[in-house]
Chains A and B, each alone.
Chain A
Amino acid sequence: MSSNTASLLPRETASPESKRGWLQSWLSSEHPFPWLFPAAALMVVFGIYPLLYALTLSLYKKNAATRKMVFDIDHNWTKILFDDRVWNAIFNTFIYTGVALVFQLVLGMLIALLLDSDRRGYGVLRALMTLPLVIPPAVTAMMFLLMLNGSFGVLSRGMIAMGLLPVGFSVLGDASTAMAGVLLAEIWQWTPFMVLIMLAGLRSLPKEPFEAAAIDGANAFQAFFKLTLPMMSKVIAIAVLIRGIDLFRAFDYVKVMTDSGPGTATETLTSYAGRIYFGNADFPYASTVALLTLIIVIVLSSAFMKIFKVKL
């Protein structure tokens, strides 16, 4: 007992730790725990816990009449298989992701090649090119909603004047063209993302192989396909991965521009989940559809990362 107090006393009076404040002493140790804890806590409380909650929720069946939740392990997951709207949403999500990705990739590469120059003024053009990236997507959606308006939208009027559309045609109001209208906003806003990344890739390429190829008489096309593309493959893969993930969970443009309509013409997985949630308040089913989105994203992105050997 006495030895205990003896050993405690000098430490308490002599130790500077207690005077330096808890944060400093907490972080003075070599142990990584205090450094990692805040971010981990944020992830667990606001990410992992809700995710597990969603998983549990998907195992319940909501009785529409009594509003009671009954444990029914496969009700929602079977329902998904036979829900035509889910398959329609999956189809739309893949169309949306695929078309946007191809356009953004090809346009991004072409524009990057065009703007990759040290001539005067190109720096300004490159800076201007980044501006669409930071507009709130909900605002972009509104911009295109205005420009595609059938009776006074500037883009619609332009296309009508060129004879591409019949007079008064509403691009977003027609089931056959609504998806194209939404994609136009998506492609406009995020092509600059690809441009920026491709420009960074192009600028980091070594000069020597191109000089050697030029001496050997290779033309610009050969140099692009034989040298530029292979050397840029890692950059392209990263860009596709990041963009693909974002595209797959697209919500803003669809919600604002068409609200998944007309009918279900532009309904994606995310927007369908949102519609179930706001529409019939079937939370278990909304969760299940949302989880399905997550599962597809995980499967596709891990397959992509394996096949193309990308690591973020």
Chain B
Amino acid sequence: MRWVRRHVLDGYAILALVYLFLPISVVVAFSFNAPKGRFNYTWQGFTFTNWAHPFAFPGLGGAVRVSIEIAFLSSLAATVLGTLIALALVRYKFRGSATTNLLIFIPMTTPEIVMGASLLTLFLNWRIPQGFSTILIAHIMFNISYVVVTVRARLVGFDRHLEEAAMDLGANELVTFFRVTLPLIMPGILAAGLLAFALSIDDFVITYFNAGTTITFPLFVWGAARVAVPPQINVIGTAIFVIAIVAMIANVVFQNRRARRLA
């Protein structure tokens, strides 16, 4: 009985993860599907061909690469910019903090289609050609708000006494920030970065308007879906997060080894 009580939370968490991954398991399963036609909607038979030729569809490989590059760069930039803003908002009382808060919230409330179209108007008025750079600009823009809100949740509960203690021991502000504060809020920054990455790699509407003739992975999928849903799309989606998970596992194992060696 006590075993059950102690593990209720574990069971619950597993259920939640199963729920999260239910459609993904379907996606993975269908990446092995062998449809004769161009649609991948019902199970026809098992095959490894899709995995053998994941980039068979012209344009798919390029689109994936563009999406990953943009997601990486935009989440990095947005995380830096957003963390700085969060620090300012939480740590300091200053004139204009209310306006800044508003400035952070409003982008999240704006429907993507008008945000995308208005941004395009800006680029047109300023004669900025649309392509990779305009997509990047747009992604950084909408990611900043999400980073601020996420990092702020971490900063608010942060124990300032640790910083005071460091300063009492002779560290100046900059050293304190980098050796005490930053490591402690890093989980928040990391979480914000992950969120920004996910938002960027899945964005469709804003990207569509500001992409010019560049194609990202979501643009490719939405476009293809009109006439076909090749299993290769499932393969790529599966592959991306399997790679990310393997990388993460490797990182944890590596950290464990390091910790054991240093101990």
A binds B: no
Measuring CB to CB, which residues of chain A are less than 8 angstroms from any residue of chain B?
none
Residues of B within 8 A of A (CB): none
